[in-house]
């Protein structure tokens, strides 16, 4: 299975730029996800790869085959790209059995009848649907129809599999199960896969690497660990997981200890955070702090060496079963935190390790 290379992709609709200079490489056999809020350009990118949309400029290649080149203009039609496509709507033909639905793309490719049967049964077996091959789509649950759509996407051994929000019509529990089998199916088939979702949990759990999109631009490409632990921008930090973004100002030049002091908000609270390159004393900054990295403590002296202690007021505490979620105020800043235990007091200490703080120069804009 070849790699997919997308370079300098640009696309506008009626003068509105939707994709600005998108570029990424998906390695052979890799599960690669385009993640971002609704409307950021994920489906448009996937459609350009599929050949359903035409970019204004850029290049798209799979292996040594050029699918699109803006200069000189080259466009390979969708049917000649040999890609597997699965969309949110399953798009199965209602008047055809499951097996016949899968036969269609094979007939288009002039595959013989005996070979068709072998390929269809093999694909249905991979998604555990072989026993339902002679049913009609309306006789299947949503989850089963989605599996059939997937089997149809792989039945003709496409070079690359393109999936656009394929699980979002399933209810939460089925989606969790579908994630597990989708991942094992992709591993088993070993097919290069580009997956589109707005769901960060889905992206984190399925992907080898994730490209985070916002407003038609790539913010960061990395493994789930890289994206979560070292988000490139406050916007990425805010979009992945639950991250407090605290406005502040760098208080002093970076010290030898590798930390800097940041004044938070306007009420004189301070945090010592691990420094990042390019921050200067007096500069405005944003501190990213994940909810689950804040330890709540009744006593401030529970803090170890070098650990920040902030005094917070509890505004609200909700019980979610697995944990308690706290809405807090520190000076004029609002924070969200989590704890496995219930703290009764109205005032509480927040213990925060400098290495758990993400420091970004400049003010933040709210995440999409």
Residues lying near ligand ADP in the complex (CB under 6 A) are found at 13, 18, 36, 38-44
Provide the minimum distance between the beta carbon of 32 and Mg ion in the complex, in angstroms, as a whole number. Answer: 16
DSSP string for residues in 321-362: SS-EEEEEEETTEEEEEEESS----SEEEEEE-GGGEEEEES
Complex with ligand ADP: residue 36 or 248, whichever CB lies closer = 36
Residues present in the chain in total:
368
What does 39 bind: Mg ion, ligand ADP, none (CB cut-off 5 to 8 Å by kind)? Answer: ligand ADP
Listed ranges 26-34, 41-49, 136-144, 336-344: which one lies at the site for Mg ion (CB under 5 A): 41-49
Listed ranges 36-44, 52-60, 222-230, 259-267: which one lies at the site for Mg ion (CB under 5 A): 36-44
- Among residues 9, 31, 36, 43, which is the contact residue for Mg ion, using CB under 5 A? 43
Complex with ligand ADP: residue 36 or 288, whichever CB lies closer = 36
Question: Does the footprint of Mg ion cover residue 207 (CB under 5 A)?
Answer: no
Q: What angle do CA 224, 230, 233 make, to 5 degrees?
A: 105
Provide the minimum distance between the beta carbon of 143 and ligand ADP in the complex, in angstroms, as a whole number. Answer: 23
Question: Where do we find the tokens 């929000």?
Answer: 165
Q: How many CB atoms lie within 10 A of CB 234?
A: 25
- Residues 217 and 21: beta-carbon distance below 8 Å: yes
Complex with Mg ion: residue 88 or 295, whichever CB lies closer = 88
Complex with Mg ion: residue 87 or 324, whichever CB lies closer = 87
Provide the minimum distance between the beta carbon of 17 and ligand ADP in the complex, in angstroms, as a whole number. Answer: 9
Alpha-carbon distance values, 84 to 91, 128, 297, 339 (Å):
13, 19, 52, 44
| 171 burial via Cβ count (<10 Å: 0-12, 13-18, 19+) | exposed
Complex with Mg ion: residue 43 or 192, whichever CB lies closer = 43
Provide the minimum distance between the beta carbon of 21 and ligand ADP in the complex, in angstroms, as a whole number. Answer: 15
Integer Cα distance of 258 and 274 in angstroms:
6
- What is the contact surface with Mg ion in residues (CB under 5 A)? 43
């Amino acid at each position: 299975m070849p790699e997919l290379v997308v370079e300098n992709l640009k696309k506008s609709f009626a003068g509105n730029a939707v994709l600005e200079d998108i570029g990424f490489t998906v390695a052979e056999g890799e599960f690669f996800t385009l993640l971002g809020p609704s409307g950021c350009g994920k489906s448009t990118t996937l459609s350009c790869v599929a050949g359903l949309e035409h970019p204004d400029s850029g290049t798209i290649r799979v292996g040594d085959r050029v699918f699109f080149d803006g200069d000189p203009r080259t466009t390979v039609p969708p049917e000649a790209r040999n890609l597997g496509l699965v969309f949110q709507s399953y798009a199965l033909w209602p008047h055809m059995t499951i097996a016949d639905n899968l036969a269609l793309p094979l007939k288009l490719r002039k595959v013989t009848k005996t070979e068709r049967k072998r390929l269809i049964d093999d694909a249905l077996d991979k998604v555990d649907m072989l026993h339902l091959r002679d049913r009609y789509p309306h006789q299947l649950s949503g989850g089963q129809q989605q599996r059939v759509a997937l089997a149809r996407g792989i039945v003709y051994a496409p070079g690359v599999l393109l999936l656009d929000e394929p699980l979002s019509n399933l209810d939460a529990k089925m989606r969790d199960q579908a994630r597990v089998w989708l991942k094992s199916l992709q591993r088993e088939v070993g097919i290069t896969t580009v997956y589109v979702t707005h769901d960060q949990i889905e992206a984190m759990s399925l992907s080898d690497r994730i490209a985070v999109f916002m407003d038609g631009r790539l913010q960061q490409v990395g493994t789930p660990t890289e994206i979560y632990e070292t988000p490139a921008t406050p916007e990425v930090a805010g979009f992945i997981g639950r991250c407090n973004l605290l406005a502040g100002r760098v208080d002093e030049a970076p010290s030898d200890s590798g930390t800097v002091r940041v004044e938070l908000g306007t009420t004189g609270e301070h945090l010592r955070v691990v420094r990042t390159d390019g921050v200067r004393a007096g500069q405005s900054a944003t501190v990213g702090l994940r909810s689950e990295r804040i330890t709540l403590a009744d006593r401030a002296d529970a803090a170890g060496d070098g650990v920040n202690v902030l005094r917070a007021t509890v505004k609200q505490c909700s019980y979610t079963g697995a944990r308690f979620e706290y809405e807090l105020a520190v000076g004029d800043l609002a924070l969200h935190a989590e704890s496995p235990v219930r703290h009764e007091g109205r005032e509480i200490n927040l213990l925060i390790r400098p290495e758990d703080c993400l420091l970004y120069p400049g003010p933040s804009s709210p995440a999409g």
